[in-house]
Amino acid sequence: MSTFLTSLEQVLSAEHRPILFDHDTWHSTSQLRNDVLQVKHALWDAGLRERDEVVLGLPNSYEFAVVYLALLQSGVVVAPVNPKMPAAELERVLTRLDAKAVMVSQAQADAWNRVLCDHEFGANLNIDLAPTEGAGTPLSIVVSLAPSRLSQTAESTPEGATGDDAPAVLMFTSGTTGQPKGVMLRRKHLLHAANNVIQSHELTEEDVAYCILPLFHINAQVIVLLSTLLSGGQLVMADRFHASRFWDDVTSHRVTWVSAVPTILSILSKQQSKARPAHQLRFIRSASAPLSPAIKTRFECSVGVPVVESYGMTEAAGQICINPLPPGVRKVGSVGKPFGLELEILNDEQQPVGPNDVGEIVIRGQNVIEAYVGAEGKQSDSQWDGWIFTGDLGYRDDDGYVFITGRAKEIINRAGEKLSPREIEDVLSGHSFVDRSAVIGVPDPLYGERVVAFVVPVDYETVAKGALVNELEQMCKDSLAHHKCPSEIVVARSLPVGPTGKVQKHLLRDVQTLHLLA
């Protein structure tokens, strides 16, 4: 029997109470249970069976939660995707999958219609969820089916497969440095990851989480949605981050914690420069991209909420490290300590290194995948004695806190000197006029690579760009060794980022992209 499914069933079978706020209303546990059952049986009747792959392209919503839970309980493999991706990107996604169905809103079904038809998704099934009493129109979900790939037999029951080794969620890495890899998360990975979050965040039934990050990414799925549900807490859903209503939502719903990214913290810190908002927040969690010490300090001083920096990845079903909650020691610049898994740091010879020595971070644990999968379902060899290579470089201090220094593929080699972009970015982001920065190495005939920095000003239209570059160059000279100083600083209007705020540095190396940014 699956411990994970049992835990979800306990959530859905809990006494009638409000559990998820969306569409201007609180949805109850009993409504969630009934809607999950309705979706499960509708998909079973349509021919979907255990281990079938289903693309989930719904936006942040109550409907996403219903479908996600229904698919997990049915034993179907969920493949969440960005509901706003263009049709051309969906085309590439479908070539990596053996999807039997695509679940979307009506608007997205219309936008993706050509690609869906090309991939034989010719039959549409509409599932209408009854609205909460007095809440308006029914909530509609469109299921595009590929009839030729659907099962015609009743090999099992719609209750779903048993066992925690069963596959549950198929995702692809963000691809910030190369081609995305397939990550198959099993039920056991999701369960242990959620429990790690519950313990490290000290979550209880008294907590209210605010979901502002995209649910097609692992952070919102496991760290926010699953961990909140399994801890007995409540969830306030937003379609995305809205700076104008953030504090109103946090205050009116008595939100106790939020999972955010550095870009959001930067926006909120500027917004609250004069007055601190009223709130019940215990902490705000920062992950998915490096948090500069300058943004952390500015946020905590202006808003008065502790920021807990963390570190995770899809391969670990979310969280890897986290700083202790207050009153524990939160070290500036550190992503905290490993929680619920093993972490080692290896040198170039794949030997563990001691404290304060930089190497590549490798992990293993009950929430960590054992290997990657390819489009054909074959396992790759991207592992070391059962450990997964993260591609991140870092070190542990004498107290066991982990510090990330950069990505292995992003390290700059200037005349044999290995430079960390993160160190240079922290200096640049310390300037009060700089909103964010990114540093890359570009080919150089003399030194092999030279350092080029991109900075996005707080106000691009009004900043004196030449003066800003001069000040940044002087800051670098004062704070960094000569060979680490950028040979060029580009003031950019924006940077190419993924949905969770990570700068897509491989795009920065595209010469045409560089010209478009400035």
Residue 197 in domain: no
Residue 349 in domain: yes
Structure tokens at 308: 């807990």
DSSP letter at 187 equals H
Q: Which DSSP string do the residues of 16-82 spell out, in sequence order?
A: S-EEEEETTEEEEHHHHHHHHHHHHHHHHHHT--TT-EEEE-PPSSHHHHHHHHHHHHHTPEEEE--
Count the Cβ atoms, other than its own, within 10 Å of residue 165: 12
CATH (domain of 389): 3.40.50.12780
Rounded distance, CA 442 to CA 511, Å?
10
Structure tokens at 440: 């890359």
- 385 and 457: one domain? no
Rounded distance, CA 318 to CA 330, Å?
20
Phi, psi of 128 (to 5 degrees): -105, 120
Please give the helix or strand (H or E) that residue 200 lies within, else none: helix 187-201
Q: Given this model, what pLDDT does residue 253 score? A: 97
Q: Given this model, what pLDDT does residue 399 score? A: 97
Rounded distance, CA 244 to CA 200, Å?
30
Count the Cβ atoms, other than its own, within 10 Å of residue 342: 12
Phi, psi of 74 (to 5 degrees): -80, -10
CATH (domain of 27): 3.40.50.980
Read off the amino acid at residue 245: R
- 296 and 388: one domain? yes
| CB of 287 closer than 8 Å to CB of 312 | yes
Residue 177 in domain: no
- 93 and 139: one domain? yes
Residue 70 in domain: yes
- 27 and 100: one domain? yes
Rounded distance, CA 455 to CA 209, Å?
33
- 401 and 441: one domain? no
CATH (domain of 466): 3.30.300.30
- 355 and 453: one domain? no
Q: Output the CA torsion 428→284→69→215 (10° steps).
A: -30
C-alpha closest to that of 74 among 103, 95, 106: 103
- 398 and 429: one domain? no
Structure tokens at 83: 């509901």
Rounded distance, CA 330 to CA 336, Å?
7
Per residue in 329-381, pLDDT tens? Answer: 999 999 999 999 999 999 988 899 999 999 999 999 999 998 888 643 334 44
- 342 and 440: one domain? no
- 221 and 358: one domain? yes
Contacts (Cβ under 8 Å, ≥6 apart) of 274: none
Residue 201 in domain: no
Q: Rounded to two decimals, what is the model's pTM?
A: 0.83
Per residue in 394-436, pLDDT tens? Answer: 999 999 999 998 877 788 888 767 788 888 998 998 898 998 8
Q: Given this model, what pLDDT does residue 89 score? A: 82
Structure tokens at 501: 């705020």
Q: Given this model, what pLDDT does residue 464 score? A: 92
Which parts of the chain sit beneath pLDDT 50?
Answer: 176-177, 375-381, 511-513, 515-516
- 356 and 441: one domain? no
Q: Given this model, what pLDDT does residue 157 score? A: 59
- 133 and 253: one domain? no
DSSP letter at 283 equals E
Residue span of the structural domain in which 220 resides: 208-367+380-408
- Could you give the number of structural domains in the chain? 3
Q: Given this model, what pLDDT does residue 240 score? A: 93
Contacts (Cβ under 8 Å, ≥6 apart) of 326: 283, 306
Q: Given this model, what pLDDT does residue 518 score? A: 53
Q: Which DSSP string do the residues of 290-342 spell out, in sequence order?
A: PPPHHHHHHHHHHH---EEEEEEEGGGTEEEEEPPPTTS---TT--BEE-SSE
Residue 184 in domain: no
Residue 285 in domain: yes
Mind spelling out the 3-state secondary structure of 368-423?
CCCCCECCCCCECCCEECCEEEEEEEEEECCCCCEEEEEEHHHCEEECCEEECHHH
Residue 438 in domain: yes
- 482 and 338: one domain? no
Structure tokens at 470: 């001069």
